[in-house]
Amino acid sequence: MSSGHDTPEDPQPGPTRESRFEPYEVNRPIPVAVLSVAFALAAWGVATLWVDQGAVEETAPEDEAAEVAAAGPDGAAVFEANCQTCHQANGLGVQGAIPPLAGSRYVTGPAEAPVQILLHGIDGPISVRGADYDGRMPRFGEVLTDAQIAAVVSYVRSTWGNAAPPVEAAFVAEQRARFDATRGPWAGGAELGAVTGIAARLGGGGTDTSMESAR
């Protein structure tokens, strides 16, 4: 009996109880209520996706078509995609090779001219703003719709200082119906003017901005 009166010693000297504590994962099962809510949410999500997809598939084409019809194609975008490489972003073309659209009587004069050039292409002598060209422009009759041609023609008629009135898709449709789609490109400015009957309204050389109001 040597130390009966001693204060009891900690049988495991060393760190206190608190510092020995190690965090551990509580292995408590997720309550059924939480699980069922999670499943319900997941099911609802899938169902919503499913239903929405059906709705999108059913209505999207009509909605888009309606929007496009309301807004119409973007003439600037059609120009950028189909004309800009040749006629340039500033509408001035390439000296000696590609005629300018800025200030051209074929753009701002009678609307038949740009529309017919786009529908069939043009390949022959043409005089624009006092300079002679004899190049070849491809046709866009099969590439662009009536609405796209109307949009891009309206764009070039109202950009770079051009100030001619816009053209409608219906006007392009009329012009499309006038000549066989396989007639080949216009053989230059003179033939275009003679065959379409707009030679007088196209006028001669010069800067041609006086033709703006002619249609």
Q: How far is CA 130 from CA 1, 73, 110, 154, 194, in A?
A: 130, 33, 18, 24, 20
C-beta of 15 vs 75, nearer to ligand HEC = 75
| Residue 196 CB partners (closer than 8 Å, separation 6+) | 112, 113, 116, 178
User: Which DSSP string do the residues of 182-204 spell out, in sequence order?
Assistant: TS--B-SHHHHHHHHT-HHHH--
- Placement of tokens 């499309």 in the chain: 176
Q: How far is the CB of 42 from ligand HEC (least distance, A)?
A: 52
Nearer to ligand HEC, 47 or 163 (CB): 163
| CB of 87 or CB of 120, closer to ligand HEC | 87
Which residue lies nearest ligand HEC, judged by its C-beta?
83
- Least spacing, CB of residue 48 vs ligand HEC, in Å: 44
β-sheet bridge partners, residue 126:
133
In the complex, the smallest distance separating the C-beta of residue 189 from ligand HEC, rounded to whole angstroms, is 7
Distance in Å, CB of 43 to ligand HEC, minimum: 52
Q: Could you please report the per-residue DSSP string of 118-167?
A: HHH-EES-EEETTEEE--EE---TTTS-HHHHHHHHHHHHTSTT--PPP-
User: What is the spatial distance between Cα 189 and Cα 208, in angstroms, rounded to a whole number?
Assistant: 14
Residue among 35 and 134 whose Cβ is closer to ligand HEC = 134
Residue whose CB is less far from ligand HEC, 84 or 178: 84
Q: Select from 207, 45, 76 the least CA-distant residue to 152.
A: 76
> What is the binding site for ligand HEC (CB under 6 A)?
82-83, 85-87, 98-101, 104, 106-107, 114, 117-118, 122-124, 126, 128, 133-138, 140, 152, 156, 188
The least distance separating ligand HEC from the CB of residue 119, rounded to whole angstroms, comes to 10
The C-alpha atoms of residue 1 and residue 22 are separated, in whole angstroms, by: 38
Give least dist CB 62 to ligand HEC, A.
28
Closest CB to ligand HEC among residues 92, 178? 92
What is the rounded (10 degree) CA torsion for 49, 53, 59, 63? 80
